[in-house]
Amino acid sequence: MPNLIHKKSLELFKKAKTIIPGGVNSPVRAFKSVGGSPLFIKSAKGSKIYDVDGNEYIDYVLSWGPMILGHTHPQVTKAIQKAAEHGTSYGAPTGLETELAQMILKIYPSMDKVRMVNSGTEATMAAIRVARGFTGRDKIIKFEGCYHGHGDAFLVKAGSGALTLGVPDSPGVPKDYAKNTITVAFNDLEALKKTIEKEAKNIACVIIEPVVGNIGCVLPKKGFKKYDIVLIFDEVMTGFRVSFGGAQKAYRIKPDMTCLGKVIGGGLPVGAYGGRKEIMSMVAPEGPVYQAGTLSGNPLAMTAGIETLKILSQKDTYKKLEEKTSALEKGLKDAAKRAGVSTKFYRAGTMFCTYFTDKEIFDYATAKTADTSKFARFFMGMLKRGVNLAPSQFEAGFMSLAHSAKDIETTIRAAYEALREA
């Protein structure tokens, strides 16, 4: 693997590890699940990223989803630069916040009101607090394998039984937090039904990633039923990725609350949560549920989000994205077949994942059957050929408007070669 350890990246990683835990500010970036050392990026443009050693890569990580237009889109970049000339943060309201909020509410009619925050984690943490305040109940239901950020309530597994009280999945999470989180297997509708029937009077909300993007790309089975408790769709990843109106539009489900992030900030730190008027009226200062943020709704993020949504709303934008992602899907499936490697490929809109297994993937347990060592070899083979994928078998890949037919052809050719090596 010496040809993959680039001198400047290695030097920067070595230095970073002495002052930053693990040398990174988000764990998956450390390349631990694929081996080797992470690339340190210097710049990005369109469908490409460039590391500090000057190497170019076709990028399917896209900052873990936000860069749906591609990197440094000129319209977005110019708008950010102009906004920065007037100030980066005021700690006071601006018209930009209302403008972006109006755009979001038009695209997501399930929401009557929306509150801006700074990250997806903030959005989900606030959403369950509001749901608890609205219902007067403490317990929440989440699904195994769904990632809703690093809030204490979410870093929990339920054990083997759907009704088992949660235990912390990370040191530092108090058991008193964990006991109020019940975990059910994704796509196990019968277990969900039994859980709700037993615990209905104690459950404030059900929170779900409608497409699970943090164990790859796991699609929902048909038959999701709405119960008389607060249903929260975590669309931080799926919003604008599965469709222009998110997974809720694609699957025709109207949640009580929705969490958004990533794309709505155009690459800047952002998050949002919203829902029905009577629920959102609980949020301070209108109601008693407290939530605040110094940089919430800051003008740079609002500007980037507004410009991004303007472009996404243009005619044929999603048709183009669908054509690009479909072409990549077809090519990667064919490459695996020609290479004689058993894989399962799943896609939801512009999200996708190739699993190294011959089993169908429909939940956390089946996702864990994938051969992670084979994926690691495939990942390194792709990186060597100038294609940047997420450094984990259990992360989704993403398409952008900036990816060209040539990019996709190059990726498919690299995949065939890397698959034969893997």
Domain check: are 165 and 56 in the same one? no
> pLDDT of 57-68, one tens digit each?
999 999 999 999
Contact in structure between 207 and 141 (CB atoms under 8 Å):
yes
| 234 in active site | yes
Pull the structure tokens for residue 169. 């999945």
Number of domains in the chain: 2
Model pLDDT, residue 170: 73
Buried b / exposed e over 286-295, threshold 16 CB at 10 Å, is eeebebeeee
| 45 in active site | no
Contact in structure between 110 and 253 (CB atoms under 8 Å):
no
Domain check: are 228 and 339 in the same one? no
Domain check: are 157 and 280 in the same one? yes
Residue 3 has pLDDT above 80, yes or no: no
Residues forming beta bridges with residue 5, ordered by sequence position: none
Catalytic residue (one of 262, 324, 363, 416): 262
| 368 in active site | no
Strands 139-144 and 181-185: parallel
> pLDDT of 191-246, one tens digit each?
888 888 888 899 999 999 999 988 888 888 765 555 669 999 999 999 999 999 99
Residue 161 has pLDDT above 80, yes or no: no
Looking at 50-54, 57-61, 174-178, 306-310, which range is the least confident one?
Answer: 174-178
Domain check: are 363 and 236 in the same one? no
Q: Number of helices (H) and strands (E), helices first, in the chain? A: 13, 16
Domain end call among 312, 341, 369: 312
The residue assigned the tokens 């190497």 is: 55
Q: In 3-state terms, what secondary structure has residue 1?
A: coil
Domain check: are 109 and 55 in the same one? no
The segment with the largest mean pLDDT, out of 73-77, 160-164, 218-222, is 73-77
The residue assigned the tokens 């996404």 is: 312
The residue assigned the tokens 């990533």 is: 262
Domain check: are 257 and 269 in the same one? yes
Buried b / exposed e over 306-338, threshold 16 CB at 10 Å, is bbbbeebeeeeebeebbebbebbbebbbebbee
> pLDDT of 126-152, one tens digit each?
999 999 999 999 999 999 888 898 888
Model pLDDT, residue 360: 94
Q: What residues make up the domain containing 339?
A: 2-72+316-421
Question: Residues 321-324: contacts with CB within 8 Å, 24+ apart?
Answer: 321/68, 321/349, 321/350, 321/399, 321/400, 321/401, 322/349, 322/350, 324/399, 324/401, 324/403, 324/408
Domain end call among 268, 292, 312: 312
Domain check: are 223 and 92 in the same one? yes
Domain check: are 302 and 338 in the same one? no
Catalytic residue (one of 57, 60, 108, 147): 147
Q: How far lies 159's CA from each of 78, 178, 183, 190, in Å? A: 50, 12, 8, 17
Domain check: are 51 and 145 in the same one? no
Catalytic residue (one of 234, 256, 363, 407): 234
CATH of the domain at 112: 3.40.640.10
DSSP 166: P
Model pLDDT, residue 227: 62
Domain end call among 267, 291, 312: 312
Residue 4's pLDDT band, with cuts at 50, 70 and 90, is low
Model pLDDT, residue 163: 31
State the pTM of this model: 0.93
Give the separation between CA 44 and CA 70, rounded to whole angstroms: 9
Domain check: are 58 and 112 in the same one? no
CATH of the domain at 65: 3.90.1150.10
